[in-house]
A and B are shown apart, each in its own frame.
Chain A
Amino acid sequence: MNKPVLVSFLVSGDPNPDATLKFMKALDKYSGVIELGIPFSDPVADGPTIQAADVRALSNGFKIAKSFEVLKEFRKESDTPVILMTYYNPVFKRGIETFVMQAKEAGANGLIIVDLPLQEATEYREICKKHEMGTVFLAAPNTPEERLKISDEASTEFLYLISTFGITGARESFEQMTFDFIKRARTTCKGKICVGFGISKGSHAESLIEQGADGVIVGSAFVDIIKNYGDSEEALVKLEELAKELSEGIEKGYEKRNK
C-alpha cells in the first residue's frame, strides 16, 4: 500500500457468516485492507456499536472456526490483505501457536489483539514471526515517544493509531489532538500508520490522510449500516456507498497532501 488506503472493519458472523462474506466482497472494491473482527463476549475496548454486533453474532451461535471459514471462502476470490482483530482470551484459550497457524491457513495476513500490549506480547510475537504472520500494535495520543517507537517496530503491517481516548464508535469531528498525533507518529515511525476510532465520513478520511496517515480504519460506521439493514440487498448498497465516499475522501486528502 503505497497510496493511502481504506481499512474496512466488519464483525464476522454479524448477523451471520454468509452475510459477512457478501459484505467483504462488497467492500473489497474500495478497500486496501479488510479487518475482520472475531466476536468476543467482553469487548471492553469497543463501543456500543461493535459490542452489539458481537452480541448479534454470538447469539446466533457464532464460533471462531467460522471466522476462518469465511476468510477461506473470501480468499478464493480476492488477494486483498485481511487482518483478524480479536481479544487475547480467544487466542490464549486455543493456544497462541494453534491460533496463528489456523489463521495463517485460512489466509490471514496479520493479527490485531487489542488487549495484548507490547510488554505481554513477547511469545506471541515470536510465534507470529515463526509462521510469518503479520502483527499490528496500537498506539494512543498519550503513548510516550519511546513506546511509540517500539510499537512501530513491532508492527509489521501498520501501526494502528487510536484517534482519541476512549472506545470505538462513530463521531462527528476530530480534534487537533488527533492531527498532532498523526504528525508526531509520522516523524517517529518508520512503518505505515493507519488511524482508527470514530471515522465515519469522507470528510474525516480526507483530513486525516491530508495530515499524513497511510490509511483510515472504519468500523462502527459500517457496522451501523448492518445493524439498520441486516442481511439485505440494501445493506450491500449502503456499505458500498459509504466505502466509495470514504475512498474518495482518501483520494482528495492524498492530493491535498501532495500539493
Chain B
Amino acid sequence: MTCEGYFGEFGGQYIPEVLMPAIDELKEAYSELKDDEEFQNELSYYLKNYAGRETPLYYAENLTKKLGGAKIYLKREDLLHGGAHKTNNTIGQALLAKRMGKTRIIAETGAGQHGVGTSMAGALFGLETEIFMGRLDTERQQPNVFRMKLLGAKVTPVDTGSKVLKDAVNEAMRNWTATFENTHYLIGTVMGPHPFPTIVRDFQSVIGKEVKKQIMEQEGRLPDHLVACIGGGSNALGLFHAFIQDKDVRMVGIEAAGKGLNTSLHGASISKGKKGVLHGMLSYFLQDEDGQIEEAYSISAGLDYPGIGPEHAYLHDSGRAEYASATDDQALNAFMELTRSEGIIPALESSHAVAYAIENAGNMDKDEIMVINLSGRGDKDLNTVIDIMQKRGM
C-alpha cells in the first residue's frame, strides 16, 4: 500500500479506518475537478462577482515612511467578502462538495472567520451548515458567532479539552466520521489528512498569483520579502505558493508568541513544537514528552492551534521559508499602529505579520519591497481590544 500526500516527511493520512473511503472519494473528486475547465470557471466567477476578487495590493506609504526602511505593501484580503482570506477556500470547497453530491457541510473555527466563510458558502449554495467552535472562542468572537447564525448555520460550542480550535477540530472530525455519506468536512486551513492540505493551498494560492501580477505592474519586479501570520498556515501558503520557485523572494511566516516563547502560553508550533502526528498529518505540534498535545495560546483565536500544516513543516526544514514570531503585545501594538497610520483596522491574526514589519522594516534598504498579507479585518476583534485597552486604562 502506498503512502500519499507527503511534503518531504510531513503530511500523510493518519486517520481512523472509517474515514478512508470518504478521503478516497474526496481525493478522486478533487483530482478530476482540479483541471476541469467548467469547475474552474465557476470558481472564478464566484471569486470575482461574489467574493470581490481581485483584492487590491496597497502601498502603505505612511507606515513605510514611519518605519523608514523597506517599502511596505499590503495584500488586502481584509477586503474580501466575509472579511478574511477564508472565503477563497470556503467557496472552492463548497463547490467541490456540491459536485460530490453532498448536501451538508461542517467546519471547525477558531476566530470564527472560517465559520463565517463556510456559513456564507452554505447559504450561497444551499447546503445545510454546522460549525464547531470551542466554547471559549464563541465567547471572545461573539460578532462572528452571530454572523454564522444569521447566515443560517448551526453553531455548536465545544466543551471538551481546552475549549478552543484544536477541540473544535476533534469534534468536527468525530461528526464527519458519522455523517460523511451526505456531509463534506470543509477544513479551514492547510492541515488534516491528504488531500486537504493540497486542496486548501490550491484554493488560497490565488492570493500569491495576484500579488505576483500586481507587484510587477506597480514595481516592475518581484518583492524581496513576503510576510504572513501562521495559524494552520493557509493565508501564508496562499501568499507564498506562487513564489516558491523564485528563490530570491524571502518567505516569512509569523507564529503567535503569545505571552512569550519562554512561557507556556504561545502558539508557536514550529519554533517550539516537535514532530508528531495529529488530525491526520505528520507535522510539528506542541506536545509533552509522552506525546500528549499541549494547549496553544494566543490573543488571536485564529492563531492558537498547536500544530501547523505539513507543507510549512517541509518549507521550514528545507530552509525555503523562515518562521519568526510576534507576542500578544507586539500584535496589539501593530494593530494600533496600522489603524492610526493607514486607517486600516487589521485582524489580530494579521497584526502579527504587521508586527514583523514594525520590528524589521526599518533595518532594511529603502529599495527593498515587503508584501504583508493582511489576512483579515479587525472588526471581529474589537471587543477583545477594547477590553484590554480598558484594563490598561487607555
Contacts A42-B278, A89-B278; A147 near B20 (Cβ below 8 A): yes
Known: A41-B161, A58-B292, A93-B287. A119 touches B16 (CB 8 A): no
CB-based contact A93/B291 at 8 Å:
yes
The reply to whether A118 and B16 form a contact with Cβ atoms under 8 Å apart is: no
Residues of A within 8 A of B184 (CB): none
B281 to chain A, nearest CB (A): 11
A237 CB within 8 Å of chain B? no
Bound CA–CA A64/B292 (angstroms): 10
Q: List the B side residues contacting A183 at CB < 8 Å.
A: none
Q: Is the CB of B290 within 8 A of A44?
A: no
Instruction: Give the nearest-CB partner of B282 in chain A.
Output: A92
Q: Are B173 and A93 neighbours in the complex by a CB distance under 8 Å?
A: no
**CB-based contact B20/A117 at 8 Å:** yes
Contact A42 B17 (CB under 8 A): no
Within 8 A of A (CB), among B321-353: none
| Contact across chains for B1 and A92 when beta carbons are under 8 A apart | no
Establish whether residues B1 and A119, one from each chain, have CB atoms under 8 Å apart when the complex forms.
Answer: yes
Given A92-B277, A120-B13, A144-B21, decide whether A165 and B1 contact each other with a Cβ distance below 8 A: no
Choose, from A22-30, A132-140, A187-195, the stretch at the interface: A132-140
- Asked if B392 is at the interface (CB within 8 A of a chain A CB), the reply is no
Cβ-defined contact, B166 with A42, below 8 A = yes
With contacts A41-B293, A89-B293, A92-B291 known, is A165 near B279, CB below 8 A? Answer: no
CB within 8 Å of B: which A198-231 residues: none
Measured between alpha carbons, how far is A16 from B18 in the docked complex, in Å?
A: 31
**Contact of A120 with B3 in the complex, beta carbons under 8 Å:** yes
Query: Closest chain B residue to A151 by CB distance?
Result: B17
Which of B16, B166, B279, B290 is in CB contact (< 8 Å) with A93?
B290
Residue B174 at the chain A interface, CB threshold 8 Å? yes
User: Are B290 and A63 touching (Cβ within 8 A)?
Assistant: yes
Q: Count contacts between A and B, CB distance < 8 Å.
A: 114
In the bound complex, residues from chain B placing their C-beta under 8 Å from that of A91 are 291
With A44-B16, A89-B287 known to touch, is A119 a contact of B3 (CB < 8 Å)? yes
Q: Please, how many angstroms separate the alpha-carbon atoms of A166 and B174 in the complex?
A: 7
Q: Is the interface of B mostly helix, strand, loop or mixed?
A: mixed
Decide: B17 and A64 in contact? CB cutoff 8 A: no
In whole angstroms, how far apart are the Cα atoms of A90 and B276 in the complex? 9
In the complex, what residues of B have CB within 8 A of residue A245's CB? none
Please indicate which of the listed interface residues B12, B13, B282, B292 has the most CB atoms of chain A within 10 Å of its own CB.
Answer: B292
Considering the chains assembled together, what is the distance between the CA atoms of A84 and B161 in angstroms? Answer: 23
Residues of the B chain whose Cβ atoms lie less than 8 Å from the Cβ of A89:
276-278, 285, 287, 291, 293
In the complex, whether B271 has a CB less than 8 A from a CB of chain A is no
Interface residues on A, range: 35 or more
Tell whether A162 is near chain B: CB-to-CB under 8 Å: yes
Chain B nearest CB, measured from A194 CB (Å): 14
Smallest Cβ-Cβ distance to A43: which chain B residue: B170
A41 to B279, CA, bound (A): 12
Q: Mark B227-263, 1 if CB is under 8 A from A, else 0.
A: 0000000000000000000000000000000000000
Q: How far is the CA of A55 from the CA of B13 in the complex (A)?
A: 26
- Which chain B positions have C-beta within 8 A of A138? 16-18
Contacting residue for B170 out of A42, A94, A143, CB 8 A: A42
- CB within 8 Å of A: which of B282-318? 282, 285, 287, 289-294
Query: Could you tell me which residues of chain A, from 139 to 192, have a CB within 8 Å of some CB in chain B?
Result: 139-140, 142-144, 147, 150-151, 162, 165-167
Give the chain A neighbours of B4 by CB distance below 8 A: 119
With contacts A165-B180, A166-B178, A167-B174 known, is A142 near B18, CB below 8 A?
A: yes
Given A44-B174, A167-B177, residue A150 in contact with residue B1 (CB < 8 A): yes
Q: Name the residue on A nearest B17 (C-beta).
A: A138
Q: What residues of chain B lie closer than 8 Å to A90, measured between beta carbons?
A: 290-292
Cβ A115 vs Cβ B15 within 8 A: yes
Contacts of B293 in A (CB 8 A): 41-42, 89
Q: What residues of B have a CB within 8 angstroms of the CB of A43 in the complex?
A: 170
Whole-angstrom distance from the CB of A43 to the nearest CB of chain B?
8
What CA separation (Å) do A14 and B391 show in the bound complex? 42
A109 at the interface (CB under 8 A from B): no
Other than the given A87-B277, A88-B277, A119-B3, 4 more pairs (CB < 8 A) read A41-B294, A92-B276, A94-B290, A117-B13
Can you show 26 pairs from A to B with CB atoms below 8 A apart? Answer: A40-B292, A42-B161, A42-B170, A45-B16, A55-B161, A64-B291, A89-B277, A89-B285, A89-B293, A93-B287, A93-B291, A94-B291, A115-B14, A115-B277, A116-B14, A117-B14, A117-B20, A119-B4, A138-B16, A138-B18, A139-B17, A140-B17, A147-B20, A150-B1, A165-B18, A165-B180
A interface list, Cβ under 8 A from B: 40-45, 47-48, 51, 55, 58, 63-64, 87-94, 114-120, 122, 137-140, 142-144, 147, 150-151, 162, 165-167
